[in-house]
Structure 1
Amino acid sequence: MVTTTASQKKTQAKMEYDAFLAGCPSRKLLDRLSDKWVTLILSALGSDGSHQLDIGCAGEPRAMRYSELSRLLAGVSQKMLTQTLRSLERDGLISRTVTPTVPVTVSYELTELGLSLHELMRGLKSWAQTHMDEVLAHRETYDERAAG
């Protein structure tokens, strides 16, 4: 009988991830990553705070305070921002650093794992901004056709 080590079992399990299968845990991850706030937070943590539509938020990834993220992400509630940041920290995509100042300073930063996803999310955000006019035109054409 062949014995497999824990490392070999882990490697085998990784090879078996298939998001097309109903029971694959990667589906839950895809569900989380498809959330607009996740996309915007991961994009924001790589920004310099600018709002350049042509290239998305430019700049090198950097730590941001909660209040900076809240201001940048127009429309996000405090509850949603907190929940999303916690889920991203739980998944290992961001790290949370508490600095004992008065008042306490909390900042968030992309981890190595988060950095590996950052450019993709920034590209997705940029694509949506760049192609929004086309999408709106297609929606209008479709709705007219469906109503007629």
Structure 2
Amino acid sequence: MQEKWLESPAVSLENVIRLDHNRARSQVAIRCGVPATNVKNMIIWGNHSSTQYPDVHHCLVNMSGSELACFDAVKDDAWLKGDFIATVKQRGAADTKARKLSSAMSAAKAICDHMRDIWSGTPQDEFTSMGVYSSGNSYGFPADLIYSFPIQIKVRLV
């Protein structure tokens, strides 16, 4: 599939990792007792599968009007380095197994969030996770991958 995609200009390639991004934000929000909208700058590295890596090192949580680093807001490093990562990685499979259906509404919401960011840009000083063509990345990942990175979109299309 990548070869077919590569026939298009690479800048136009992306994939939706937003479902996992939203799941990670929700897990932190539940743990902190705040709405998911109070959690920003979550990063999902990798692919939509058990190989992804949810990263909270730049994540901020708005609690009572103050932005706290995720580690300070959650106050449970063991959870953030263990169960949190496992839960986000396995959430899709767990949902499908429990419901015997995919999480269609969550996926639809993720697609809407993804398209909103593409068309309207990400909020000032915030980024999202998006699978993009890896050529020329500053993170040291090999070129020619479609891989989820932290993304800021500043040019609005509308």
What TM-score bracket applies, with the shorter chain setting the length?
under 0.3
**If the length of structure 2 is used for normalisation, what is the TM-score?**
0.26
Structure with more strand by fraction? 2
Q: TM-score, normalised by structure 1?
A: 0.27
Larger Rg: 1
By relative contact order (CA 8 Å, sep 6+), the higher-ranking structure is 2
